Amino acid sequence: MQESWKFINLKAPESREKSLIPWLNNVMDQNDSEMGIFLSYYYRREGAVVENVRLKPPSSDLTEMTGSITVTFELVHFNACLNIHDTNPEQLILFYEISDQGTALTLTGPYWPEREPDEL
């Protein structure tokens, strides 16, 4: 399984020579619920949802139109019947690609192999 999500109709970054970190932070803040939905696909088998997605500050400035970033988030397990409401901090590496015009951002998550059902 490998999920990807495309954000379109974005305001282009100011300059390609400047750091993309503020621009990526702004995109994630404006699309917080979509980021949660996108990352929740990776944890749906656990019955968890993702909330409060934030860009982890990278060790160097991001100026390339493609690359990888690390996001931090809260992984929430909730089950009213079992009286469970756990929140655990997690992080995940995402690959990003910004369109030539800078008006679209595609995020691709890691590849997690899925186990096939056992034969009877």
pLDDT at 34: 92
Does residue 115 fall inside a structural domain? no
**Distance from C-alpha of 106 to C-alpha of 86, rounded to nearest angstrom:** 30
8 lies in some domain: yes
* pLDDT tens readout for residues 30-67: 999 999 999 999 888 888 899 999 999 887 767 778 88
Total structural domains in the chain? 1
Total-model pTM? 0.80
What would the pLDDT profile of 90-102 be if each residue is shown by its tens digit? 999 999 998 888 7
- Judged against a pLDDT cut of 90, whether residue 116 lies above it is answered with no
Contacts of residues 54-61 at CB distance under 8 Å and 24 or more positions apart, as own/partner, are: 54/25, 54/28, 55/21, 55/24, 55/25, 55/28, 56/91, 57/21, 58/21, 61/19, 61/20, 61/21
79 lies in which domain range? 4-108
pLDDT of residue 17: 63
Report if residue 76 sits inside a domain. Answer: yes
Which residue has better confidence, 88 or 17?
A: 88
What does the pLDDT average to over 3-29? Answer: 83
